Amino acid sequence: MHVRNVSMKSVRLVSQTMSTSVYLETFGCQMNVADSERADVRLRAAGFDLSTSPEDADVILFNTCSVRERAAHKVFTRIGEVRRQRIGSEPVVGVMGCVAQLEGDSIFDASPLVNIVAGTRATDRLPQLISRALQGERRVLDLDERAEGEVWDVPASDRTSKHVAFVPIIEGCNKFCTYCIVPYSRGREKSRLASDIVAEIHALRSYGYKEIHLIGQNVNSYRPKTDDGLEGFKGATPFCRLLRAVAATGMERIKFTTSFPRDFHPDIVAAIDENENLCEWIHLPVQSGSDRILRAMRRGHTAGDYLKRIDAVKNARRKMSITSDIIVGFPGETREDFGKTVKLVEQVGYDGLYIFKYSERRGTPAAKLDDDVSREEKAARFAQLEEAQRKLQQKIYDRYVGRVLDVLVERPSSKSERDMTGHSTCHKVVNFPGDVSMLGKVKSVRVTAAKQNSLYGEIISAP
Ligand code: 5AD
Ligand code: SF4
């Protein structure tokens, strides 16, 4: 699972006479971004008009994240802001996604402004749910499963992300790491058929997309009901076969996230070595370097098991980027346990690290443990690990100076008007002088400087 930036999005498209406008704001991981994209498409198909601001929309939807306490609170803060903004008018307000799935109808009591609570599998039913609320139903609740045979596709022409397309391959999680709320908010693992995934990628490629991300809480646990679309592709696991099937579509750049260590078969590395369009980047969260803590987290692997997987990645023919997630301050984590995490981080030499302070989630097994690492100690461990990673990462980034990377131009840089920004195949952020005519193209960029979390360079390919 992968939870990073908070993105806000909204799109104005098809309008109809007397149409109802819907504003949709998204928090959390790529799965939520993908769900919102699908919600957009379904709503437009049903004749709704999508609005860019909550100020005049008839319906305001929040697609929420609950992975850590702070993320879960955000939606209630936003509802409070909307309430103040909209005094005198009464928009329909809906909470979707993980907070909706977990909190259910208690949200109606906590926030009387909310009329719709739609869980993580209700996306395709949103048009009907909104219609019911518009007709005056005060509490519209849908925490049900997806309909059998539900179509996951988002047509290439209707996507809001124009240069990189997220393609869900599996949703849910069966791992039940003791700190994690995801198995409760997203349900059990369900894999899409490979034939559907491959068809979607062919369509994206024909439309001009250069990069896709196969996404899921644990992509390498991919296990579809049938072999459809995988016939003829070799591989040690269904995920390895899927990688080869997806590579065969000819899509220029293919990335996947997130991988789970226990299911990380070395054949994944072989598939990347064999196929240039499978990008050389692996996101493999370890969470802790202490076996005692890994056991308490019920991760199902030791630090040694994890390092064996990393060795396989490091022994690949192609040089791979490796990134990870770490939780500091899990209940019972001693300074010694934490020291082992720092050591593991130094040993691996990550290209990027996402560090989180443990956040107790109600209903998870770890919530029964005493959250005994103080707030100050969590902050101190966070800062220490961040500093260790900063130094290690600088060295790794410095080695890129002088190298040429293929960068997909994704957007103008937020820092400088004359620069564009994008990612390399090894998933580094690269900035370089350029203009909007380059958007969506892959450019060869020679790296001239290494910054803290990005590289800077100059285009060497012809425009
Ligand atoms: N507290 C802190 N971090 C968490 N994560 C998941 N659950 C929690 C929690 N309760 C982190 C893990 C995961 C990432 C997406 O979020 O590191 O890999
Ligand atoms: Fe959460 Fe663990 Fe599942 Fe990842 S593998 S989503 S951390 S339970």
Using 50, 70 and 90 to split pLDDT, how confident is the model at 462? low
Q: Which of 9-18, 118-127, 182-191, 317-326 has the lowest average pLDDT?
A: 9-18
What pLDDT score does 191 carry? 96
Give me the domain span that covers residue 30.
8-142
Rounded Cα distance between 378 and 26, Å, is: 28
For residue 186, which atom of ligand 2 is closest to its CA?
6
Kindly state the percentage of the chain with pLDDT values over 90: 88
Instruction: Identify the residues whose C-beta falls under 6 Å from ligand 1.
Output: 1-3, 67-68, 179-180, 285, 287, 325, 327, 356, 358-359, 361
One domain, residues 77 and 182: no
User: To 10 degrees, what angle do helices 267-274 and 238-247 make?
Assistant: 10
Q: Which of 380, 398, 416 is the last residue of a domain?
A: 398
Q: Which amino acid is at 151?
A: V
CATH of the domain at 301: 3.80.30.20
Q: Which of 142, 171, 195 is the last residue of a domain?
A: 142
Any domain includes 319: yes
- DSSP 8-class letter at 415: S
One domain, residues 221 and 357: yes
What pLDDT score does 15 carry? 36
Any domain includes 2: no
Q: Does the beta carbon of 173 sit less than 6 angstroms from any atom of ligand 2?
A: yes
For residue 258, which atom of ligand 1 is closest to its CA?
18
Using 50, 70 and 90 to split pLDDT, how confident is the model at 1? very low
For residue 357, which atom of ligand 1 is closest to its CA?
2
One domain, residues 184 and 73: no
One domain, residues 18 and 84: yes
One domain, residues 34 and 88: yes
One domain, residues 93 and 130: yes
One domain, residues 251 and 225: yes
One domain, residues 211 and 244: yes
Using 50, 70 and 90 to split pLDDT, how confident is the model at 461? low
Rounded Cα distance between 347 and 202, Å, is: 40
What pLDDT score does 225 carry? 95
- Hey, whose CA ends up nearest to atom 17 of ligand 1? 325
Rounded Cα distance between 426 and 400, Å, is: 11
Q: Which residues pair with 258 in a beta bridge?
A: none
State how far the alpha carbon of 332 is from the alpha carbons of 224, 327, 335, in Å.
Answer: 38, 13, 10
What pLDDT score does 86 carry? 85
Ligand 1 center from residue 240 Cα (angstroms)? 26
Any domain includes 57: yes
In this predicted structure, the answer to whether residue 16 has a pLDDT above a threshold of 70 is no
Q: What is the mean pLDDT of residues 359-368?
A: 97
Residue with tokens 């209700």: 122
One domain, residues 364 and 408: no
State how far the alpha carbon of 65 is from the alpha carbons of 2, 24, 181, 411, in Å.
Answer: 11, 14, 10, 25
Contact in structure between 248 and 205 (CB atoms under 8 Å): no
What pLDDT score does 122 carry? 96
One domain, residues 358 and 383: yes
Torsion sign across C-alpha atoms 288, 294, 300, 302: positive
> Which residue of 3, 31, 218, 257 sits with most ligand 2 atoms within 8 Å of its CB, as the best mutation to test the pocket?
218
34 is written with which tokens? 């993908």
Q: What angle do CA 74, 78, 82 make, to 5 degrees?
A: 170
Contacts of 302 (CB under 8 A, 6+ apart): 291, 294
In this predicted structure, the answer to whether residue 158 has a pLDDT above a threshold of 90 is no
Rounded Cα distance between 11 and 42, Å, is: 13
169 is written with which tokens? 């391959």
In this predicted structure, the answer to whether residue 90 has a pLDDT above a threshold of 80 is yes
In tens, the pLDDT along 416-456 reads: 989 999 999 999 999 999 999 999 999 999 999 999 999 99
> Which residue of 175, 221, 262, 330 sits with most ligand 2 atoms within 8 Å of its CB, as the best mutation to test the pocket?
175
Q: Which of 398, 416, 451 is the last residue of a domain?
A: 398
- Tell me which ligand sits closest to the C-alpha of residue 294: 2
Using 50, 70 and 90 to split pLDDT, how confident is the model at 340? very high
Q: What is the mean pLDDT of residues 309-322?
A: 98
Work out how many domains the chain is built from and give that number: 3
How many C-beta atoms surround the C-beta of residue 123 within 10 A?
25
For residue 218, which atom of ligand 2 is closest to its CA?
5
Q: Does the beta carbon of 185 sit less than 6 angstroms from any atom of ligand 2?
A: no
Any domain includes 238: yes
Contacts of 148 (CB under 8 A, 6+ apart): none
Burial of 213 (0-12, 13-18, 19+ CB in 10 A): buried
Ligand 1 center from residue 325 Cα (angstroms)? 8
Any domain includes 430: yes
Would strands 454-459 and 442-450 be described as parallel, antiparallel, or unpaired?
antiparallel
Q: Which residues pair with 100 in a beta bridge?
A: none
Any domain includes 100: yes
CATH of the domain at 423: 2.40.50.140
Q: What is the mean pLDDT of residues 195-221?
A: 97
In this predicted structure, the answer to whether residue 11 has a pLDDT above a threshold of 90 is no
What pLDDT score does 84 carry? 87
For residue 354, which atom of ligand 1 is closest to its CA?
17
Alpha carbon 87 to chain centroid distance? 35
Rounded Cα distance between 184 and 177, Å, is: 11
Q: Whose CA is closest to 328, among 359, 302, 282?
A: 359
CATH of the domain at 116: 3.40.50.12160
Rounded Cα distance between 214 and 336, Å, is: 37
Contact in structure between 219 and 258 (CB atoms under 8 Å): yes
Contact in structure between 44 and 158 (CB atoms under 8 Å): yes
In tens, the pLDDT along 126-146 reads: 999 999 999 999 999 999 999
In tens, the pLDDT along 291-306 reads: 999 999 999 999 999 9
- Hey, whose CA ends up nearest to atom 7 of ligand 1? 180
Any domain includes 147: no
Selected residue with higher pLDDT from 90 and 193: 193
One domain, residues 390 and 422: no
Ligand 1 center from residue 36 Cα (angstroms)? 22
In tens, the pLDDT along 380-412 reads: 999 999 999 999 999 999 999 999 999 999 999
State how far the alpha carbon of 10 is from the alpha carbons of 53, 118, 394, 457, in Å.
Answer: 7, 18, 36, 32
For residue 183, which atom of ligand 2 is closest to its CA?
8
Q: Does the beta carbon of 207 sit less than 6 angstroms from any atom of ligand 2?
A: no
Kindly state the percentage of the chain with pLDDT values over 70: 95
In this predicted structure, the answer to whether residue 327 has a pLDDT above a threshold of 90 is yes
One domain, residues 120 and 217: no
Using 50, 70 and 90 to split pLDDT, how confident is the model at 18? low
Any domain includes 450: yes
Contacts of 244 (CB under 8 A, 6+ apart): 233, 234, 235, 271, 274, 275
